[in-house]
Structure 1
């Protein structure tokens, strides 16, 4: 069964129906730092693709989508429903395996004022782009960030967006598995608003690639963006699910139960075939 989520008001309404929210992690699978009482409901790393395959309009809408989602009434309502009614968040942009830049260091969001401050910081940062696409590099960069977070959460989540497969740095599945072994959940936001192009290294079924090769952990999920009109709504839906800690309404299939429908090395192979390096 596919681990993707459709976008709509029904999903958001259902998400917010509960007045009490618990973590997604099953018994024995919570983050290692349980000796300290959690002070936030989730530690959230937002990892945003800024590779050249993303055009300037997409980069702008992506920025606006995260900023607007964080200050939305739905997001703040989900925030208030948590046991601690606050989260910690950091936001960085990535492209190649050696190209990651933190835009927002760890911040606590606990209401409208702190949400506004984070949203404003996101929008003020200069827009930039980078070469290549290294999802593995983004995950490797994200993992030690949790050790730098002064807050402790019930869950540790990497929220990773991108419009293409890994084509630089280590292969993605071993890095994904390393993160899962640390109790980190990885969710995905595959961006599929353009037709696959030879020049941009796009692939068909990028959502399958994210489902089978990138995401993982208890309750992990993919929200797919297939048209520009739903870009911001998709980002908001994804953040709502992550903050509220509600598992999606379908059975999550463990990685070991099935073979990937898209080769997890498709990005590396395509790059080698086209550029010979």
Structure 2
């Protein structure tokens, strides 16, 4: 475990506060929320509200209560070119509707702001470090990454993703596809091939701003309940894997001009 912690601490800023109490939970769920400037203020605000509504929704509470233990540990942080340390809401137990509302109120109280660049690798690294260094023992460990573009700064995303999976962490994605993302094959496929991973992992696309809240709630219910969407069949012979380094190369080309 200590080796795993050290591995991730070398990739991103580590969480500064550990939960004071621990215990067994059904899932440790880290919510990694994109606030890069490719999303406008309205989109960031609606995304934030989507998380607040999902945390307070009866479907989410019922999913928590329906687990073998009936409690989860959850954390929240926002990221762009790096993780915004001021945005971190540290690990908290959710067992009741009151617990969920208290956490939702903390999320709602955060000021809405955007930052430059998109480092999915930093978001995954921070979440993985936070999971392996907290005091909870989850039957499952999940990083829930939302984003509207490919990794374009920092450590390449694929090796960081792979190390998190090796540590037993599942990574799911919410691909925000309201406008072109800079990926040739589509952001949902980029997230499927380069970001998401681990047993039962999935990616949900969002194509319309009015679908944010429903998609976020559905994603969180599936993560708590360990229910994956129906698998899609891809014709491997005709559908190539995404080049996960394309975003990093495009950004480096821009810097080299």
Query: TM-score scaled to structure 1, two decimals?
Result: 0.78
Unmatched 5+ residue regions in structure 1? 1-36
Partner of 2:5: none
1:103-146: CA deviation from partner (whole Å, max 9, x where unpaired): 31100111110011011000001112111100011111111101
**Do the aligned residues in 2 keep the contact of 1:66 with 1:119 (CA within 8 Å)?**
yes
1:89 paired with 2:74, answer yes
Partner of 1:221: 202
Point out the more displaced range, 173-182 or 263-272: 263-272
Question: How does 1:214-253 map onto structure 2 within 5 Å?
Answer: 214-250=195-231
1:141 paired with 2:126, answer yes
SS in 1 for 2:174: strand
Unmatched 5+ residue regions in structure 2? 1-21
Partner of 1:212: 193
Instruction: Give the deviation of 1:38 after TM superposition.
Output: 6.5
Point out the more displaced range, 92-101 or 147-156: 92-101
Q: Which has the higher contact order (CA 8 A, sep 6+)?
A: 1
1:267 paired with 2:252, answer no
1:134-159: CA deviation from partner (whole Å, max 9, x where unpaired): 00111111111013322211000000
1:199-245: CA deviation from partner (whole Å, max 9, x where unpaired): xx566500000000111000000011011111110000100100001
Within the candidate set 121, 143, 147, 1:162 is matched to: 147
Instruction: Give the deviation of 1:80 after TM superposition.
Output: 1.1
Flag as ranges the 4+ runs of structure 1 deviating above 6 A: none
Q: Aligned equivalents of 1:261 and 1:233: distance in 2? A: 29
Partner of 2:17: none
Point out the more displaced range, 181-190 or 201-210: 201-210
SS in 1 for 2:26: strand
Q: Aligned equivalents of 1:227 and 1:39: distance in 2? A: 38
Partner of 1:51: 36
